[in-house]
């Protein structure tokens, strides 16, 4: 079974990297697809994402908000299930963990 992991981003490159690296290192390869919907980041997030071979990217020309971005990711997903994330969740989880 493949899970489509849809991550919404708006800046916060540090959290985006942490979130994606955590998924990569803690989730069995071949069981998920990564879809990132970027809501017009201007902090280097878009450039970093373009260099990631295992990510399906959607780049918006303006910030469309969380619900619309989620719908964009869901629409192109191919997994049997979908998991929605906000890139800032990595920072929140780290604060809870500490």
According to the model, what pLDDT value does residue 29 have?
Answer: 93
According to the model, what pLDDT value does residue 90 have?
Answer: 59
Q: What are phi and psi of 35, to 5 degrees?
A: -120, 125
Tens digit of pLDDT for each residue in 15-57?
999 889 988 988 999 999 999 999 999 999 999 999 999 999 9
In contact, 88 and 15? CB cutoff 8 Å: yes
Closest CA to 19 of 98, 95, 85, 97: 85
- pTM equals 0.89
Neighbours of 57 (CB within 10 A): 14
In contact, 36 and 55? CB cutoff 8 Å: yes
Tens digit of pLDDT for each residue in 74-93?
999 999 999 998 887 755 54
In order of 39, 71, 86, the CA distances from 45 in angstroms are 10, 20, 14
């Amino acid at each position: 079974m493949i899970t489509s992991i849809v991550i919404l981003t708006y800046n916060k490159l540090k959290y985006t990297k942490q979130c994606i690296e955590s998924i990569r290192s803690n989730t069995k390869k071949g069981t998920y697809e990564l879809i990132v919907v970027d809501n017009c980041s201007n902090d280097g997030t878009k450039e970093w994402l373009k260099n990631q071979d295992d990510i399906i990217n959607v780049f918006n020309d303006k910030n469309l908000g969380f619900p619309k971005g989620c719908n964009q990711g869901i629409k192109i997903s191919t997994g049997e299930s979908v998991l929605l994330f906000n890139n800032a969740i990595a920072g929140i989880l780290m604060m809870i963990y500490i």
